[in-house]
Structure 1
Amino acid sequence: MAPLIIRIRSKLGTERVEATEETTFAQLIQKITSKSKFHTYSFSKDPGNTSPLKDDQVTLRQLNFKNGEMIYLHGTENPTEEKKEKNQIEESGYGAVVEDEVDVQLGKADGWLQQKYNPKYCNHGPNGKCMQCMPIAPWAILEYEPFKSQGVKFIPFTAYVRKMQQNSAYANKSTARVISPESYKQKECDRHPPWPEGICTQCQPAPIRVQGQPYRHIDQILFQSPTLVDQSTGEQRVGFLYGKYVVHPNIPLGITAVVLGIYEPPQRSNRGESVLQEDPEEGKVDEMAAELGWRKIGFIWTDLLTENGKIQERAVQMTPSEIIRSTKMQNKHLSPCKFSTANFMGSKFVSVVVRGEERERAKLKGAGNKEGGVELGGYQTSDQCMSLVADSIIRESKQNNMVRVKKSKTKFVPEVSYSGKNEYNIDVIQMANPYVPTEFFIIPMTCSTPKEGEAVERLFLTTDFPIENRGENINSNTVSAHLRKRTSPKESFSDFHLLVHLTRILPRDELNTVIRAIKGDQQVEERAKMIRDELISRGNDNGNAQSAAPTNKASTAGNPKERDLMTMMMSLGIDENSARESLFATNYTTVEAALEYYYSR
């Protein structure tokens, strides 16, 4: 019996079913409907269903079916199944995706930028629409004010996804998975020995074209208060940003990362750099942040270059080593995305550098950079950069504006190219031999603090508890002295850095009680008062809590030479801040040089 391939076309697409000439039409229908999602159905040889085929025992030979015959399936889907699919995130075998809360909110937003009727430009009545007052698509906002004059170069990620869905051929555009993270890994292949002994077209990764990214996952970084960033140590410092992601109030479908607290992990710091050390308490801080309703949202570091005691302008936005470090952190904090075939796309994790203010911007403000201006720069690295780092394609280099393509004897590295200008200023494709400009990977965003009258969460009332891991001896007397300054549990515990310290000394249930008290939960106020009294009594048991102020920052911070210089300066009657500033300005050389600077100010 000659085999037949029967094509079945429906609104869900075209499928193929194998049969023979002796197969009855009833048997063919059974094969089709066993895989079909339709609740009711009928078949015909024409799209209009003018002559339905009957379900009987007639063979395909009798129906004159040929190999490759096309029949049309007309049916309606099961209403309960259709409703079930709409309520679930699972789709096409990709698995369930738990979206971030901000993405859920954006999913319900329209996103189109509404324009008002303007009688000056609109040649119609107030109820009509024209090109001057039509709503603007969220992916086209860069061509319109105020975004055009502000120089905004990236559209929000959600707007980019909707543009991709709008241009897709999927029937249900609103749920289509239209984006995928890049992968540059060599596929597994059993046709030949592993690289470098063999490779073939089936397993060889395609050449890589490095391109700029048109979208960004975060559109603004908002610091709850300018006092969050403390630069008073005279050393380079790093920290993790904790806060929330919220919908941007002014950019359609945009996201703001709101920084509510900064945790400084253990680190080895000096005037040139700060190196992270192992942190056994990081998990506890993450749990504490989760109880507050916060999460780890970014990384911050200082790069305050000095010359003759003045902070200098930073030469680049991000150095190659900073790009690689930030990218590795983004790869640890992937952003779930139900429109991606991988269930994630990019990251919302941000990077902030505290740097010398850009000279031109400082001049516009009326204060040259020679005065030591400081500003915050907010960045992410592109999704392509995340894939290149994850697959070990690029690494840092000694050139400030270039990353280097890795060379490997044990791993196949595909060719890497990018678009650049040649000596005649013409756009050409250039090979990475072996460098790629960092400009392709850096996604900048603004850092700001709330404007007057702008509402922002302010959970903590004070910021005077010593910052963790700065070499200070924070003990029970320190905690007792801080708590005695205020009466109510909410006010007493309302300090982020105090809460970080309490993660080390309080059981989990008591810490959660303190957090509930900070949030204003009246049910735990009495229990929180008992915890407060207990912590105060611990300090009293160890001596006079009022005299047990934290040990001087200069006594333990920095290396031994710097500590000795600070001690000598302060023994001469110079206050701590002035002593640190003078030593920092003279690169911690000698006391004589610092004194000369101090008296010449």
Structure 2
Amino acid sequence: MILRFRSKDGMFRVNAEPDTDFLNTLEELVNKINIKDPQSIHISDRPNDKGQPANSFIGKTIDSLGLKNGSMLFLTYNTSDLTDTPSSTSVQVTKPTSISIEPISIPKPLEVKQLPVDDYLDGKDGYIKRNKSSMCRHGDKGMCEYCSPLPPWDKNYKKEQGFKHISYHAHLNEINDQKNNKNNATSYMAPLEEPNYNVNLKCPSGHAPYPKGICSKCQPPVITLQQQQFRMVDHVEFADHSILNKFIDSWRQTGLQRFGILYGRYEAFEKVPLGIKAVVEAIYEPPQANELDGITLLDWENENQVDEIAASLGLYKVGITFTDLIDSGMGNGTVLCKRHKNSYFLSCLEVLMAARYQNKHPNISKHCNSGQYSSKFVTCVISGGLQGEIEPRSYQVSTSAEALVRADIISGSTQPSQLIINQSDGKRYVPDVFYLKINEYGLEVKTNAKPSFPVDFLLVTLLDSFPLVPTPFFQNGFAIENRDFLGELQDLNAVYKHLNNDKGDGSQLCDFHLLVCLAKLNILGEAEYNLILKFVKHRQYEDYLQLVESPGWMTLITILEHSH
């Protein structure tokens, strides 16, 4: 393998074997560097950190230190004076006999567990096959520039297909293709890097931290915003139309807006090269105060419990949804169209909300040194279409939007389509911010974003639909939580009526809202409840029979019958 060492004299690469003593590698290294005193060498896995003395490595193999091919280490040491003899640059590192040896504290590489869909797409190149065309001048087994496969990030293909964004994995492969030579694994660089607009309050230059001092090393660079060319998720699919329909029913009955959490999973989306879709299996409605023109979220005390139930079924939060509907007054079920290209698609406050949710639910990635990159969390707003129809529209915000919110650089404004650039204040440092737009002459020009700029520069548009042949994971017959104002109660009577309709196959148990209600009632023991989850997940009839014959289930049925 090759180890990389960065020092004030430059970058050095040293060949090594995993089972060799690390000190032997240092002996080879000091012959390459102008070191006055080898005993002054200190090594760290982080820049601007002195780290551990070289002697701390005695007896440690490269493998035991958790170092991998291409690992980067940072050196500090005393250099030779110009008057030193040449022999002083070739001193061998010796092992002292009287030294207190402590194990080195270099952490092992970050263990990253990606989502299954990312592991699956990592193994795909996504190249787009093309048939032989009239421009080809070769036989059936030949290939030329007119029929050779295209990379999934090809701009002409994207334009021909009408894609506004390429997929996340297409973007990842494009960056990887630019940064890393496939034939030289020793110089691998992580292709992804999240933008960071925060000022460094621990600047190594020695000055007082901001706001008392600042330099070019600790201040963030100038920010230039532009439309993001890729999207982390390409498509949002509701497993069944009834999931969304029951959610909208709340507005139909009251005229009040409603908010929900989307639970589901991510899968490969075949209609886009290396695409990903969020499949929504349930909408959970947390405690909230609803109004005609807004929503106030209340404390959600059982959030962890709901997450754990979903996780046991292989599901997790994939996004949020909310209504923004106003009846047209025409009496035909149509609604007003508020969101369009001449107004806004997401308001400034909704963009900030989406960014906060995305920051809270990062995308785990082994292709970024930090172990995470952006987010797959989606925001679905249900509003009026151009023809007065009720339609869902799904969005994300860009990696720049996530970074701007993390650094507290942007705020909402009284204009829904505009975001305000904050002023530098206290520990917040705001660099110059620009955005690129196309002017009336079709030319791309850089415009100062202060004091405000359009939210569109932070938006990423997704597709959404229902499957042609629905195969939902859940039924949707039980009362929905936190709808007491509609008279829709989750109590013993509701559970009794729901289970009383069971056909003897356990199908009535396959309802996400019922599962959460049973957990909150806390009547069933842990063993019986886990048996329910096992049955719902695998749909094995033997598990259902074992459940209904259990003492805990019989106790529940007895309580339900007495409460009815």
Distance 1:493 1:280 in 2: 24
Q: How does 1:526-565 map to 2 (within 5 A)?
A: 526-529=545-548, 530=550, 533-543=554-564
Distance in 2 of aligned mates of 1:380 and 1:289? 23
For 2:364, the equivalent position in structure 1 comes to 336
CA–CA distance in structure 1, aligned partners of residues 160 and 463 of structure 2? 15
Aligned twin of 2:498: 482
TM-aligned CA distance change 1:169 to 1:101, over 3 Å:
closer
**Structure 2, unpaired ranges of 5+:** 1-8, 17-27, 39-54, 64-84, 91-105
**Which runs of structure 2 are paired with 1:465-504 in the superposition (5 Å)?**
465-471=478-484, 472-488=488-504, 490-504=506-520
Once the two structures are superposed, the pairs formed by residues 582-597 of structure 1 within 5 Å of their partners are: none
Q: Which residue of 2 is the match for residue 59 of structure 1?
A: none
Residues 571-586 of structure 1 aligned to structure 2 (within 5 Å): none
Can you list the C-alpha shifts for 1:123-147, whole angstroms capped at 9, x where unaligned?
211111112221111111x522xx5
State how far apart, in whole Å, the 2-side matches of 1:175 and 1:537 are: 64
Q: Match for 1:159 among 145, 150, 170?
A: 170
- Choose the corresponding residue for 1:384, options 383, 400, 403: 400
Shift of 1:535: 3.2
Determine which of 152, 156, 159 is the counterpart of 1:143: 156
Say if 1:94 and 1:341, in contact at 8 Å, map to a contact too.
no
Deviations 1:171-195 (CA, angstroms, capped at 9, x unpaired): 3299630221111111124744443
Which position in structure 2 is the counterpart of 1:525? 544
Is the contact between residue 409 and residue 421 of structure 2 (CA under 8 Å) also seen in structure 1? yes
The equivalent residue for 1:224 is 239
Instruction: Write out per-residue CA displacement over residues 385-442 of structure 1, whole angstroms, 9 at most, x where no aligned residue.
Output: 1011011111211212111111243122212111235687753322122112211111
Give the structure with higher Rg (CA).
Answer: 1
In structure 2, give the amino acid aligned to 1:156: S
SS in 1 for 2:138: coil
Does the 8 Å contact 1:300/1:352 carry over to 2?
Answer: yes
Residues 35-74 of structure 1 show CA distances to partners (whole Å, capped at 9, x for unaligned) of 9979xxxxxxxxxxxxxxxxxxxxxxxxx979999xxxxx
What are the residue-to-residue correspondences of 1:61-460 with 2, within 5 Å?
94-118=109-133, 120-140=134-154, 142-144=155-157, 148-170=159-181, 171-172=184-185, 176-187=189-200, 188-189=202-203, 191-229=206-244, 230=246, 231-234=248-251, 235-308=256-329, 310-315=334-339, 316-357=344-385, 359=386, 368-369=387-388, 373-410=389-426, 411-420=428-437, 426-452=443-469, 457-460=471-474
Q: Deviations over 1:85-114 (max 9, x none)?
A: xxxxxx996512111111110111231111
Partner of 1:516 in structure 2?
A: 534
Q: Structure 1's 246 and 208: CA in aligned 2 closer, same or farther, altered over 3 A?
A: same
Structure 1's 428 and 255: CA in aligned 2 closer, same or farther, altered over 3 A?
Answer: same
Q: Which amino acid aligns with 2:217?
A: Q
Per-residue Cα deviation, 1:152-209 (whole angstroms, up to 9, x for no partner) = 1111111111111111255329963022111111112474444333323332222221
Give the TM-score normalised by the residue count of structure 2.
0.75
1:464 corresponds to 2:485:
no
Which whole-Å CA distance do the structure 2 matches of 1:94 and 1:313 have between them?
51
8 Å CA contact retained: 1:480, 1:538: no
CA contact (8 A) 1:243 1:261 kept: yes
Distance 1:538 1:166 in 2: 63
Contact 1:320–1:403 (CA<8 Å) still a contact in 2?
yes
Aligned counterpart, 1:51: none
Partner Cα separation in structure 2 for residue 20 and residue 318 of structure 1: 59
Instruction: Rate the CA distance shift 1:148–1:412 in 2: closer, same or farther, 3 A.
Output: closer
Whichever residue aligns with residue 463 of structure 1, its letter is N
CA pair 6-427 structure 1, distance change in 2 beyond 3 A: closer
Deviation at 1:117, TM superposition (A): 3.0
1:515, CA displacement in angstroms? 1.6
Structure 1 residue 292: deviation in Å? 0.8
Asked if the contact 1:331/1:386 (under 8 Å) is kept, the reply is yes
1:27 aligned residue: none
Distance 1:395 1:21, change over 3 A: closer
Q: 1:22 to 1:336 in 2, by over 3 A?
A: closer
TM-score by length of 1: 0.71
Equivalent pair of 1:6/1:68 in contact (CA under 8 Å): no
- 2:196 and 2:472 map into 1 onto residues whose CA distance is 41
Across the aligned residues of Structure 1 and Structure 2, the Cα RMSD in angstroms comes to 3.4
In 2: Cα distance, 1:6 partner to 1:185 partner: 28
Q: Which amino acid aligns with 1:285?
A: V
* Matched residue SS, 1:285: helix
Alpha-carbon distance between aligned partners in 1 of 2:562 and 2:35, rounded to the nearest angstrom? 93
Secondary structure of the residue aligned to 1:271 is coil
* SS of equivalent residue, structure 1 residue 167: helix
Confirm or deny: 8 A CA contact 2:192 2:367 kept in the other structure: yes
For residue 388 of structure 1, give the secondary structure of its aligned residue in structure 2.
helix
Structure 2 Cα separation of the partners of residues 15 and 155 of structure 1: 44
Partners of 1:475 and 1:268 in 2: CA distance: 21
Gaps of 5+ in 1: 24-30, 39-63, 70-90, 360-367, 544-601
Confirm or deny: 8 A CA contact 1:480 1:535 kept in the other structure.
no
Tell me the CA shift for residue 252 of structure 1. 1.9
CA 1:269–1:408: 2 relative to 1, 3 Å: same
- Tell me the distance in 1 between the aligned counterparts of 2:33 and 2:296: 65
Q: Are 1:139 and 1:159, in contact at CA under 8 Å, matched by a contact in 2?
A: yes
Contact 1:489 1:525 in 2 (8 A): yes
Do the aligned partners of residues 133 and 424 (structure 1) sit closer, same or farther apart at CA in structure 2, a change above 3 Å counting? closer
**Distance in 2 separating the partners of 1:438 and 1:496:** 36
**CA shift at 1:212, angstroms?**
2.1
